[in-house]
Amino acid sequence: MPRTYADAVDKLNGLQTNFAVLEAVRKSGGSINTHSLGEVIDFVERVGYKPEDLDDLNFIHVTGTKGKGSTCALAESILRHYNGPKPIKTGLYTSPHLMEVRERIRINGAPISQDLFAKYFFEVWDRLEATADKSKPGYFRFLTVLAFHVFKQEKVDAAILEVGVGGAYDSTNIIQKPVVCGVSALGLDHVSILGNTISEIAWNKGGIFKSNVPAFTSPQPQEGLTMLESRAKELHAASLQVAQPFTEKDLGGLQIGLQGQHQVANAALAVQLAKTWIEKVLGQKVTGPEDEGRRVPKAFEVGLAAARWPGRGQVMVRDNKPKITWFFDGAHTAESIKVCAEWFKKASADQSHGKKIKKVLVFNCTGPRDGDKLLAPLAQIQEQVHFDEALFTPAVTFASNTYKGDLVNNNAPMDLELTTQKSLAASWRKQLQLALEDRLVQGQDDRTTVLPSVEHSVNWIDDFVAKQTKTDGAADEVQVLVTGSLHLVGGVQSVLGCDVL
């Protein structure tokens, strides 16, 4: 019998670590697996490759806390649109996915097809089964091995590789000779694994540096930069340079394809990575006489403008009556949510222009995170944007009568009592009180609803929109900000029936 994409996803989900196991490790003080790279190399070799066999994929390897996925997407778009002697065939490996797991592995910017995913998945699966040791790697490691296999079989010219967590012991770090390495903005995340300080986190992130390989970083807090410089020296990197964010003058009116002011830093890093790749692999000089005094090469403008990264600073309009505009941003740290809040404040205002607008916040976060810190940046813009309602939902996409394998997440707790969501709702009301002080109008500014699934939340919004048409002085438009988790963003887009991008 033919083995389908759904069969592949079902087997892949069986490799997820159960949340209860993860929680037990966390509570026991368990730390990162320092033996992980040797284990991943073993899996790769059982599939038929040695680490040095991967060198011809010409990797760009990117880590960081915030913006590493966007940086990868920008660098990939630059290379794919570069007008060189021949087109550059790109491979892109990122995580997590929004709606379908195949989004994590892209060829020339597009997710591989379901048929191609199934084909390559079972080639890897069967090769592991054929060895004496039939064991399989965990979910993310399997996908990493699969990505290497796909890129080799598809013969990509450039493989852009996003680190999963950290860097030093991440499964992507088995590559030996990347063309160039990059570090996007650092922040405090995954502290139970990577450390409680920026310096400790920078140590892990800097672990992707390689001997005689140039590296670039976005501007960092001084303690983070100091540690990155130390790691670059320790690991004999060819160089470590700071890519300063672009200014409006640098861009000269160019609109970067990814929305949000923070993308000027990611774009600057991506430009340095792509420029280095072209110079080292193609042996070409990117800049010409027309680039004198410019920080953005003319040859990169099309790629920067054409870049797309679903779920991050994404705006989608639905022609309901009234019109509904969805704002998606999978921000999941206090720093990234602050950036998201500023983006939404500007983006929602740009679309208002005197219209009567109702606004809804949909929020979820996964893992042991501080609801007060995460929600504070959103509460602090309430006076300007005025969310009429705030919805909180667990990481359960569909109600029990529907199912999509790509969205199964055994790493997240089953919050049957909605305890986390109720706590987040309480944090939201508390942060509004702190932000608005005596300007808070109880029952108007702090209206919250806790719902058991993403599907329930989308249905609630549909009802909310429908009521506007039956109400005197109804809204001309409803704006919905979905943030706090990429899993939430993907869940909402799946329920809405969006296409995989």
Was 141 annotated as part of a binding site?
A: no
Q: How far apart are alpha carbons 88 and 440 in whole angstroms?
A: 55
Residue 153 reports pLDDT greater than 50 = yes
SS3 call for 97: coil
Q: How far apart are alpha carbons 120 and 135 in whole angstroms?
A: 18
Beta bridge mates, 159:
59, 91
C-alpha distances out from residue 418 to 94, 421, 430, 452, Å: 30, 5, 18, 7
pLDDT at 319: 74
- Mean pLDDT, rounded, for 442-464: 90
Could you tell me where the DSSP H helices lie in 443-498? 454-468, 486-496
Greater model confidence, 266 or 407: 266
pLDDT at 365: 87
Was 162 annotated as part of a binding site?
A: yes
- Mean pLDDT, rounded, for 474-500: 92
The full set of domain ranges for the chain reads 5-24+34-306, 314-496
What class has domain 314-496?
alpha beta
Was 190 annotated as part of a binding site?
A: yes
Nearest to 458 by CA among 480, 426, 443: 480
Retrieve residue 439's tokens. 């300007």
Q: How far apart are alpha carbons 452 and 364 in whole angstroms?
A: 11
Was 329 annotated as part of a binding site?
A: yes
Residue 252 reports pLDDT greater than 80 = yes
Look at phi and psi of residue 450 and say left if phi exceeds 0, alpha if psi is from -120 to 50, else beta.
beta
Whether residue 245 is preceded by a cis peptide bond, meaning omega within 30 degrees of 0, is no
279-321 tens-digit pLDDT: 999 999 999 888 888 999 999 999 999 999 999 999 999 877 7
Q: How confident is the model at residue 21 (pLDDT cuts 50, 70, 90)?
A: very low
pLDDT at 373: 93
Was 295 annotated as part of a binding site?
A: no
Share of the chain above pLDDT 70, in %: 91
Residue 75, burial from CB neighbour count under 10 angstroms (0-12, 13-18, 19+): buried
Specify the CATH number of the domain 5-24+34-306. Answer: 3.40.1190.10
The reported pTM is 0.92
